[in-house]
């Protein structure tokens, strides 16, 4: 499934996508040959001078997509499917919502419905062949003959569409990325403060993740929330990813090193411009895995990390990070026992690997899904304060 201040300009190198299309003329001609639908009836029903129109349009509509994501995270896939259907009826006709609905049917073991909504998603532009063929949400229906045949046809459809669009290449480039910063209510620049670097999950964004600060009992720290560098369409919105992978294909593996350089620059900038006593990372989901990578790669700057819904990425072992940086930081790892997005066993594997490498690990599990519960945040807050108090003494 694909997920739910002060601007600090920070520079680093990032890969940007360059699409080279060779068949513009043919594509344009095809578009011109398609007749425009007749919207006369719909237009006739709209009174553009209706004074009550503003009140009607300003009324808050339920965010069915968000509710669906919450139900999915809790493992209630029937409820999630119902909310995704409501989102589609509300007008969210994007391929991401259609794909996520297909995932729900896959998790419910309904092969035919999963295939139908996958096909609808592909027809509307979904183009991740790897996701179609490997998404664990389709494990229960993967061996169904009809589903397997339909997916093979969709993969061929995507490959033909991509071939017609032209060759895609990747170019490393220098960019500026936004970050949001918040301060304690009684902030005094002459005093030193703990720095909390908060990394959002896949598909989220920095501005929305800043709300995590409200879950702390006494947020007496400077919090900076950087935006992940890789943007991709997520329904009617834009999602962001820390790794060079999106629903529409992957960037070179080495692109993740640029993410690490970005975070190094972020931390260094905050240390140069503020009176920082200690540095902690706070990551959720993909942001959790990114926090692990950054902490192990930057042991001289990062004192500890708080990990919610994270897992053990293979390249942490393959690149020798755990071997080469034993016992450098302290960790507070939290995972929901009913997490269906990042497997609970993956969180346990991360915990065990860090302990084996000599790190100081505090582990908390809760009866829930892929989320950041407020009571767990408060435990992490107390853990940070106790560590800083021990250092001061």
DSSP string covering 295-343: HHH-TTT--EEEEES----HHHHHTTHHHHSTT-SEEEEEEETT-TTTT
From CA 81, how far away is CA 78, in angstroms rounded? 5
Burial class of residue 58, CB neighbours in 10 A (0-12, 13-18, 19+): exposed
Tokens standing for residue 162: 């991509």
Residues of the chain with CATH 1.25.40.10: 22-36+57-165
What are 214-224's pLDDT values in tens digits? 999 999 999 99
Tokens standing for residue 289: 């895995």
* Level-2 CATH architecture, domain 22-36+57-165: Alpha Horseshoe (1.25)
From CA 60, how far away is CA 66, in angstroms rounded? 14
Euclidean distance between the first and the last CA atom of the chain, given in angstroms as a whole number: 47
What are 53-70's pLDDT values in tens digits? 777 776 667 788 888 888
Residues of the chain with pLDDT under 70: 1-35, 58-60, 92-93, 235-236, 245-253, 314-321, 323, 325-327, 391-393
Residues of the chain with CATH 3.40.50.1820: 173-392
Residue 2: per-residue pLDDT = 55
Report CA 373 to chain centroid distance, whole Å: 17
Homologous superfamily of 173-392 in CATH?
A: Alpha/Beta hydrolase fold, catalytic domain (3.40.50.1820)
């Amino acid at each position: 499934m694909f997920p739910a201040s002060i601007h600090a300009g920070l520079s680093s190198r990032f890969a940007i996508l360059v699409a080279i299309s060779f068949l513009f003329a043919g594509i344009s001609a095809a578009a011109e040959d398609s007749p425009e639908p007749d919207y006369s009836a719909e237009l006739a029903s709209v009174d553009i001078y209706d004074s009550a129109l503003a009140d009607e349009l300003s009324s808050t509509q339920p965010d069915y997509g968000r509710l669906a994501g919450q139900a999915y995270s809790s493992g209630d896939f029937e409820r999630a499917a119902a909310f995704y259907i409501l989102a589609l009826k509300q007008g969210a006709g994007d391929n991401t919502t259609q794909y996520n609905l297909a995932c729900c049917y896959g998790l419910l073991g309904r092969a035919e419905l999963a295939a139908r909504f996958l096909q609808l998603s592909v027809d509307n532009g979904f183009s991740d062949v790897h996701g179609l063929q490997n998404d664990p949400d389709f494990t229960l229906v993967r061996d169904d003959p009809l589903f397997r045949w339909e997916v093979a046809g969709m993969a061929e459809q995507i490959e033909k569409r991509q071939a017609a669009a032209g060759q895609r290449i990747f170019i490393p480039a220098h960019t500026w990325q936004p970050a949001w910063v918040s301060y304690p209510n009684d902030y005094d620049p002459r005093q030193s403060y703990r720095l909390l670097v908060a990394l959002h999950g896949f598909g989220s964004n920095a501005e929305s993740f800043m709300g995590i600060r409200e879950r702390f009992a006494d947020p007496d720290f400077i919090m900076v929330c950087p935006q992940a560098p890789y943007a991709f369409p997520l329904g009617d919105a834009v999602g962001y990813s820390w790794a060079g992978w999106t629903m529409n294909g992957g960037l070179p593996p080495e692109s993740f090193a640029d993410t690490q350089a970005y975070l190094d620059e972020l931390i260094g900038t905050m240390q140069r411009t503020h009176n920082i006593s200690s540095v902690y990372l706070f990551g959720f989901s993909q942001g959790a895995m990114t926090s692990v990578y950054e902490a192990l790669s930057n042991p001289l700057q990062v004192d500890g990390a708080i990990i919610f819904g994270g897992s053990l990425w293979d390249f942490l072992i393959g690149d020798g990070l755990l071997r080469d940086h034993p016992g450098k930081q302290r960790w507070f790892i939290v995972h929901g026992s009913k997490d269906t997005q990042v497997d609970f066993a993956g969180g346990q594997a991360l915990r065990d690997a860090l302990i084996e490498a000599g790190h100081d690990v505090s582990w908390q599990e809760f009866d829930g899904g892929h989320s950041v519960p407020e009571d767990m945040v408060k435990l992490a807050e107390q853990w940070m304060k106790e560590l800083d108090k021990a250092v001061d003494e």
